[in-house]
Structure 1
Amino acid sequence: MPVELQLYEFIFYFGIITNLMLGGFVLFHSRKQIDTAVVTFLFLTLMVVLFQVSHILGIKAPNAETSEVFFALSMTGSVLILVFMVHWIFVLTGIRSKRKFVLTLIYITGIGIALAEIFIPEAFFLPSVPKMYFPYYYVPGPWEWIMHLWYTLVTVYLLIELSIAYQCEDNFITKNRLRYVFFSLFYALSVSATGALLFYDIQFDPLFSSLFGFYTIPLAYVLIRYELFDIRILAKRAILYGVVTIGFGLLIMGMNNVNEYLQIIDPDFPKWIGQAFIAALVGGLALFVWNKAREADILKYEFTTIITHKFRTPLTRIRWAIAEASKGKERLTQEQMQDTIRTVANANDQLVELTDTLITLNDMGNMERGYQETAVSLNQLVERMVQAYVPFFQDKHIVLLSHITNEGLVVKADPKKLEFVLQIIFNNALAYTHPQGTVRVSLAKEDHRVVLVVADTGIGISAINLPHIFDKFYRAANTSGTNTDGTGVGLFMVKKIMERNGGEVAASSLGEGKGSTFTLTFPLQ
């Protein structure tokens, strides 16, 4: 078997496994509330699997007639993929009820073409023939143009509907999801086009088309709301694992071919050496995947440990204070009683603040809930925040310098969430700057944006930690020695709130011990 065909099949098989896993993952994730979007996505992934399995069977069929049947079945799957894709997007954009007639028409025509391909395959495909390195490949029949005309009309219509929905959508989360749908569609169209060229005897290697099955990954993402872990982190890791797995697979295939070649040129060459090397590669891959899979559990364990500790500390102080107060007024002076009350009050404030943080973190999955957008004077808000933090910086002997423009800078945002963002940024500057250090706050207008910069001379951020500073639950190693109450979710929430406001947040640092700078950019109203 040619190496190109082995690679082609391997990627197809990996795509089949990916779609089965995605369907199962989405079903498991949504098991408490299985709606139309989930069901439609499941059928979509099953049709992708049907297409891919039938396609491979058609290529490896024992004869041309059998290959023709499998290829007809694979094209049936591709037609139904587009049908369920339209249905799923209509549900996602909320236009299904308004487009009932169109959706019904697409179902009727799509199922009609699919049934015709099954019962009269010779009308759409002629007996398969060898092409390039494929034992059998598609040969278009007299009615094949009907299928491709249907594909073109439905795809163009779908892109028009998506464009209209995107332009009319005000909800930030839905709009962001639509971007992923656009990407997925263009990806699918691009890779599938490379396979269609050989369909018409254009000698173009369709290897790239074997990646078609992975187009459902972004679609799975838009179905999954943010929960304990950021799904984008999982998606990035899934892609990394996929690339590494494919790389290992190709390496194993290459070693197997090398081993067979060595056996041909030297029959006395020990075959077990190559097999042992392949076994070592498989073991290394398994170890890699196992270690990476443990990272999520480790993050969750560390977060749970931190939260438990944060709750236990103020609760312990309250218990001690109550124990002290229970001694009775006759054994405590008035000053001691006031100190006890202050201890309980401070511990209570800590618990309230920690609870608010966890509630805000939970609301990150549905930012629109409770979000009250209004015009906010950023000048006044930042100035008020600076004045509120002056005593805290003074107590720690940190110089706080501010330069806030007098120009009226009004942004559209939720005042409470914006204040929460500033609190996180100011708290970090206070926590991670050593005594005798300096924190500079500046607010200015740049073009049609407002830029807030908070720069400190604190512990800084290493080049290794900097790309992950906004990841959920992430805490840099050098923060452990600062005696802070961080949970690793503050900057993650800052990033989410800024994105919801149409703004951006960025961090920069020259390295550990060289301070850090946080830049928040807001669009002017």
Structure 2
Amino acid sequence: MIENIPLLVTNISYGVTFIITVGFGLAVYLKSSRKTAHIMFLFLSLAIGIFQICHVFGINVVDGESSRSIFTGSLSVIFVICFTIHWVLAVLEKDSEKIKTIVGFYTVAVGLVVFYLINPSAFLLNSVPKLYLPNYYEAGNYYWLMFVFFTVGALYAFYTLAHAYRIADPAHKNKLRYFMAAIAIGFPLGSTAFFLALNINIDPIYSTLFSIYIIPLAYGTLRYDVMDIKVVTKKAVSYALIIAGIGFFIAGINWADTLIQSVYTWVPIWAIPLTSSILAVFIGGFVWEKMRDIDILKYEFVTVVTHKFRTPLTRIKWASEMLKKLIPVESADQSRLAVDEIDNANGLLVELTDMLVSLRQVDDINYLYSFEESDMCKIVEKAARNMNKHILDKKIDFSLVCADNIPSVMLDARRMQFALQIVIENAVIYTPEEGRVSVSVTQENGKVVVSIIDTGIGISKEDIDHIFTKFFRSKEAKTTDTEGMGIGLFMAHQIIERHDGDMSVSSDGIGHGSMFKIEVPKA
């Protein structure tokens, strides 16, 4: 019969929340491993995970000195604050602006950890039994410094989010609500672990809920990419379960080591740990190999598909060039226009194929864009020129205005043209006949800004948050253009981000048109 049910509940709760914490951390990271916010979120999750592991092992060890040594790992809580603040500023795109604040928090955190490691008794004394726990933290003379740092950091993170919320547009306010609620609930619950260490009899079981605040943070980060969440989360949870499984396997082997040593004294003390380490390496290697095989399979599939696309596209290009030679340039009939349209459409398909390859390689560090100093106005003009026939067919009132003295920008001209063409094409497709599409190139705050405004079908408040999500199409878009795939704006957004730019959209609702704004830093 189980004698200490509260302890069992605590152990199980921390085990479950560990899997949740690491799982969501990986889910966010796998969504886009290149973004600072996603990297910081992973570090935040891992820091919480380290605390959870050390906490569970520390409260279950009977020897007070051994327990204190294990509890030293809970210093990771100090970095939870640093990673939270860094993540908040990265999400708000203020990490460059607030670099001194970030460095300041990291400096204090490292100093605090070093101080505690040099003076262990300043952090914790030998653990002692408390409530139903075999052992628990016994605060040292300067343990309160960590509590103060934890509190100040949490308040700063919340204040920063609250300030951003006041000035944010409606599209971003929903996301910030999740973040503010998570910090407002999660950090106070997490702080309940401190009180018993200070001999204030508050049950630390509530601190297990601290890591639950990861869920709204992850949801707020991922909810605008609904189509990706199912796949990414499934992979992340699989990784987390594998990590947890290996961890429990090693813990079980090490527990068996103690039992074997007490029964079979002739077994060398190093035998079981060495065996468990070798097994863990083999298991980890096997899992990694299987995951690598899946990635290779996806890579080869996309490679084969894109190759199969390129072969007929090349033949179409050759055929169109032959037809152009047979038809005089000055020909007044529609034949020359038709051949030109075939050639333009083929060029677009070639670009689309290249972009599919780009999507496959988006996380490959060896895959680089070819940046060079470029004239944004010329690129916009080329993108618009390819839409001339569609504009004429729909009798669209189209205008393109480039302001004077637009500075050069560092671009991959081919990809930027493709991204702009997607947005202009969407504006033309979703604008009714005799509607209006206006494109302008201006300079604002050290950035070159391209604005595409149309009098088209507009975007509802519910759909605007999802507009750059892969494969997302609104009900109105599906009705207007039945052939769309919902991948164009996603690809355009990816391209703009690779240029350290920003792409946003605004609309007054259905039937009121929309405005897409692309900002790229000047060279």
- TM-score normalised per structure 1: 0.50
- TM-score normalised per structure 2: 0.50
